[in-house]
Structure 1
Amino acid sequence: MESIKPKLRFEISGYYFIGLVALVILGFWPSYFAKFFNGTADFNFYFHFHAAMVTLWIAMLITQPLLIRKKKLTVHRLIGKLSYVVFPLIFISVLLLVHSRHKIDEENLDMRLFVPCKDLIILGTAYFIAIRYRHDINLHARGMVATGIVFIEPALVRFIMNTFGAGLTAYLFTIGIIYALLIGLMIAERHQKRGRWVFPLILILYILVHSVIIFNIHIGIWQAFAKWFFVLPLT
């Protein structure tokens, strides 16, 4: 008798992304949420705009797989079309927030821009996969899950640094958790016939962008772009 190979159940991934909500609250509690309670909140519009867009995206990550599980396909498709609006707004919110927080006379402008942009690179790649293969559940689901993984690092690194202290060790520990998660997913789906290339691709992208940050690699064309970007009258 042929053994039944276990499958990743992407239709229940929404339950896991509820945990992402808790992680975001924990990670950004001291620097964002807590300030609304102690009266020190002085954030500009760009902070709130970014928070709203990310909240919408995480809400969709929670809702969409649950709609699939309950066979509410019409509503699922409708919310999927909403992502065509929310996704570019996330990009815009990140760029505006970064632009508002840094000045042209600061040092390492290229790295200050690269750190958030490397998340956009991976987020954009994952979303492209999800939309390009929206009619193939094996690839679409993996692409959307990968978009959710992107939001883990910003929250997790802040939580670890807030708890154990800032430094390279905390950042490396965060990276290790992200890699372990992706490798765990790759192992869990090792018997699947379709879609297994998605998580390895995301892992490779993470290794590349993290290498730039860890080894402090400055790329001439990116340095020029960063200077041009921060001179723009955006914020």
Structure 2
Amino acid sequence: MKQENVSYDHTANFFFIVMLFLFILLQVAFHPTYLQYAPQFDGFGWIHHTHGAIMVCWMIMLVIQPYLIHKGEYKTHRLIGKISYVIAPLMLISMFLVTRLNYVNTVDEIPFREVAYIQALNFITPLLFFLFYSLAIIHKKEVFKHKRYMIGTAFAVVTAILSRFLYLVFGSSIEPYDFFISLYLGIIVAMLLLLNDILKNVNPIPYAIISVALIINIFIFHARYTEEWQSIVLFIGDRFF
């Protein structure tokens, strides 16, 4: 198996372009549901603003970090990496608060099966983010693995971006396929990256873990109307919300 940690990463520039594209797409996708209400933001509270600001900070970090690697600015890269020790926990807390707010606002207003449907993504996304970020930090001294798990954190939030963008383009007629397209596109990209590592005869485990986690996420979304999933949502809602 080929050496994994190399002094110069030729893929950094590519991932910088991808992350920059996702950051721009984030601004476009969230314009109809959030940004267009600036500066008053009527109907939105501090939880929405905090969550939005933290998500933007995270996406900016994902844009900057591969650029710094591409330019050889490793010291600055490590400094920003340490800042993630603050941003990542805040990201998880904001995800929890937004999910809780969404649950509380809908649980008595719509049929519970629809509440469970909505939470099929809200409950899993923070877990995916936590998993991938934790693995990235555990392997922070192994550049090969660290980079891949950090890319995994982008997969954890890309569904929210792509689904809103698809809804913006096609309107309500695309529901619920906006979520399906986003989820399946994510797993296709992850598996292509996994295949690329296999063909290059390098360690396939990072992208294999990411791919399996994303597949589980898809299975849960397919099970969003089942009694089993509704029971899980009810259990979590009663005890934590």
TM-score, normalised via structure 1 length = 0.85
Q: 1:141 to 1:201 in 2, by over 3 A?
A: same
Paired letter, 2:49? H
Percentage of identical aligned residues: 22
RMSD between superposed Cα atoms in Å: 2.2
**Partner residue, 2:35:** 33
Q: 1:150 to 1:139 in 2, by over 3 A?
A: same
Shift of 1:141: 0.6
Structure 2 residue matching 1:190: 3-state secondary structure: helix
Question: 1:34-183, aligned counterparts within 5 Å?
Answer: 34-36=36-38, 41-103=42-104, 104-106=107-109, 107-108=112-113, 109-164=115-170, 165-183=173-191
Paired letter, 1:206? L
Paired letter, 2:108? D
Structure 1 CA distance for aligned equivalents of residues 129 and 181 of structure 2: 21
**Partner residue, 2:235:** 224
Shift of 1:114: 4.2
Shift of 1:211: 1.3
Paired letter, 2:140? R
Instruction: Tell which deviates more after alignment, 89-98 or 191-200.
Output: 191-200
Structure with a larger share of its residues in helix: 2
**Partner residue, 1:211:** 219
Whether the 8 Å CA contact 1:8–1:189 is kept in 2: the answer is no
Q: 1:91 to 1:76 in 2, by over 3 A?
A: same
Whether the 8 Å CA contact 1:138–1:194 is kept in 2: the answer is no
Whether the 8 Å CA contact 1:118–1:209 is kept in 2: the answer is yes
Whether the 8 Å CA contact 2:34–2:41 is kept in 1: the answer is no
Structure 1 residue matching 2:17: 3-state secondary structure: helix
Shift of 1:184: 1.9
Structure 2 residue matching 1:94: 3-state secondary structure: helix
Instruction: Tell which deviates more after alignment, 151-160 or 166-175.
Output: 166-175
Whether the 8 Å CA contact 1:21–1:58 is kept in 2: the answer is yes
Whether the 8 Å CA contact 2:116–2:233 is kept in 1: the answer is yes
Structure 2 CA distance for aligned equivalents of residues 48 and 189 of structure 1: 39
- Which of 10, 22, 25 aligns to 2:24? It is 22
Shift of 1:9: 3.5
Structure 1 CA distance for aligned equivalents of residues 142 and 198 of structure 2: 18
- Per-residue CA deviations over 1:54-88 (Å, capped at 9, x if unaligned) read 11111111111222222222211111111111000
Structure 1 CA distance for aligned equivalents of residues 217 and 41 of structure 2: 34
Shift of 1:110: 4.6
Structure 1 CA distance for aligned equivalents of residues 148 and 11 of structure 2: 8
Q: 1:17 to 1:170 in 2, by over 3 A?
A: same
- Per-residue CA deviations over 1:113-145 (Å, capped at 9, x if unaligned) read 442221111111111121111111110010111
Shift of 1:178: 1.2
Q: 1:70 to 1:229 in 2, by over 3 A?
A: same
Shift of 1:8: 7.8
Shift of 1:93: 0.7
Structure 2 CA distance for aligned equivalents of residues 59 and 195 of structure 1: 28
Structure 1 CA distance for aligned equivalents of residues 123 and 41 of structure 2: 28
- Per-residue CA deviations over 1:154-213 (Å, capped at 9, x if unaligned) read 010111122223423332222221122112212222233443111221121122122122
Instruction: Tell which deviates more after alignment, 51-60 or 68-77.
Output: 68-77
Structure 2 CA distance for aligned equivalents of residues 142 and 21 of structure 1: 18
TM-score, normalised via structure 2 length = 0.83
Q: Which runs of 5+ in 2 are unaligned?
A: 1-7
Aligned residues: 223
Whether the 8 Å CA contact 2:9–2:69 is kept in 1: the answer is no
